[in-house]
Amino acid sequence: MNLQVVKQRYGIVGRSEALDRALSTAVRVAATDLTVLIQGESGVGKEVISKIIHEFSPRKHNAFIAINTGAIPEGTINSELFGHEKGAYTGATSDRKGYFETVNNGTIFLDEIGEMPLDTQAYLLRILESGEYMKVGSSKVNKTNVRIITATNVDLLEKVNKNKFREDLYYRLNTVPIRVPALHERREDISILFRKFASDFAEKYKTETLRPDEQAKLLLKNYRWPGNIRELRNLVEQLSVLSEDSLISAQDILNVAPQIAKRNLPSKSGTFSNAEFEEREILYKFLFEMKNDINDLKTLVFELVQRNDLKMPSLPPSRGFSEYREHESSVHESSRENYEDEDVPGFEKYSDGPVLIRDYEQNYNNAEEVEESLSLEQKTKELILKALKKHKGRRKDAADELGISERTLYRKIKEYDIAI
């Protein structure tokens, strides 16, 4: 089966290799009766994968039902799944068929399987092993022929280690694991999904199709998207309704969803104090600003080269100073003249004026190498001094620049004994 056909049929958008791998596994396993465990964060589309498995299976003409086991109260889940006899408990005024009876020969999708109570897990394990179950309040053994697909957004092995999930059930469910990638793991699909949702909502609300500018695209791409595709879809819908212009800027996005400005910054393992956290935030802010400055500088140089029709030397990256000197020297070879002081070590003179230094490598190697301080405290102090100098000692403005509170800045000034 062509994956593109599958994507079109189920409205799946994206070209991520991880997504294609999940879809391919789903299609291949559909023809069997193997138990499948779909893993992935909330909002990645695990239920769509379960529907693909059912509708490409021999059971496609029979019933399919999706059940969120985490949403069913512990006291009634056994009755919901397996049914009950009249008088089995208070309020059981008649017999009730459970899902495993009503969906016989079909497919049951059990979402949030990690939230299933331990006693229910034992009943489910028996069905997986023998197809047998008993209704609540009954001693009669019933048979069912149901394919079970499960899904979870938690680490089931961690639950097994904490005795909150049966180990034997875990390995029985995990016959064929399918991992659906989170949106931040397929960032190349964010722009594609944005265009798809923008087009859908433009048609729904009779408006122009939204288009994010470059800064907006960068903002969307760098966000963590904890709500995954569902969160992105909701954002595009809000923008479709609230935006006056079809060209969306980064500020337009932040006006609707300010949390998107938060970056997924690296952090050390374990816990750390508030003071350490604040210092790390200051350092991260400095590093991101430095990266932006470098990118701006690259853009400026490129524009200057283009506007002035300049040519850059096409030298391989591996060529060093000595080779560059030889290249430069050959350009001026014809104009070289002898000077009385030409034997002065380290210098070569030419008629048109340039003075080249010979033995670059030797001069460089003889220089003392000074290791830059990587102390977090030192870097934090330097950043605070820089911000205070920039804003002429105004603490409030400096604190805003650093992204911390004025109270925190005042504490850091005292801690590092910074003179203003």
- Phi/psi for 268 (5° steps) reads -80, 155
The three-state secondary structure class of 113 is: helix
Query: Is residue 346 over pLDDT 60?
Result: no
Length of the chain: 420
pLDDT classification of 343: cutoffs 50, 70, 90: very low
For residue 239, what is the enclosing H or E element? helix 228-242
Mean pLDDT of the chain: 81
Structure tokens that stand for 47 in this block: 């239920």
Determine which helix (DSSP H) or strand (DSSP E) holds 378, and give its type and residue range. Answer: helix 376-390
**Whether the predicted model's global pTM rises above the 0.75 cut:** no
Q: What is the pLDDT of residue 263?
A: 59
pLDDT at position 373: 55
Which of 219, 138, 180 has the alpha carbon at shortest distance from 37?
180
Report whether pLDDT(404) > 50: yes
Question: Which stretch of DSSP H or E encloses residue 110?
Answer: strand 107-111
Stretch 373-399: mean pLDDT? 78
Confirm if 57 and 31 have CB atoms less than 8 A apart: yes
**Tokens at 22, concatenated:** 């999940």
User: 143 falls in which pLDDT band (50, 70, 90)?
Assistant: very high
> Which residue stretches of 99-227 are H helix?
99-102, 118-130, 156-161, 167-173, 190-205, 214-222
- Does residue 338 carry a pLDDT above 60? no
Q: Could you give the CA distance from residue 64 to residue 310 in angstroms, rounded to a whole number?
A: 67
Residues 156 and 165: beta-carbon distance below 8 Å: yes
Phi, psi of 142 (to 5 degrees): -110, 155
- State residue 323's pLDDT score: 47
**Regarding predicted confidence, which is higher, 197 or 279?**
197
Proportion of the chain above pLDDT 70, given as a percent: 74
- The rounded distance, in Å, linking the Cα atoms of 166 and 263 is 37
Rounded distance between C-alpha atoms, residue 129 and residue 127, angstroms: 5
Nearest to 228 by CA among 46, 363, 415: 46
Distance CA 34, CA 119 (A): 23
Give me the residue label for tokens 């399919």: 64
Note the pLDDT of residue 385: 85
Do residues 101 and 144 touch, judged by C-beta distance below 8 A?
A: yes
Residue 88 CA to its chain's centroid (Å): 48
How many other CB atoms sit within 10 Å of the CB of residue 326? 10
Strands (E), 126-213: 132-134, 141-143, 147-152, 176-179, 211-212
The predicted-structure confidence for 116-142, as pLDDT tens digits, reads as follows 999 999 999 999 999 999 999 888 999
Q: Which of 90-104, 191-205, 351-365 has the lowest mean pLDDT?
A: 351-365
According to the model, what pLDDT value does residue 199 have? 95
138 DSSP 8-state letter:
-
User: What pLDDT sits at residue 33?
Assistant: 93
Q: Does residue 384 have a pLDDT over 80?
A: yes
Q: Give the tokens for residue 320.
A: 């060093």
Please determine, for residue 403, whether its predicted confidence score (pLDDT) is greater than 90. no
Task: Report, as an integer, the average pLDDT of 27-45.
Answer: 94
Domains and CATH numbers, the chain: 3-181 (3.40.50.300), 184-261 (1.10.8.60), 265-302+373-420 (1.10.10), 313-366 (no CATH)
Q: Which tokens sit at 198?
A: 């923008």
**Helix (H, G, I), strand (E, B), or coil: what is residue 230?**
helix
Report pLDDT for 279: 58
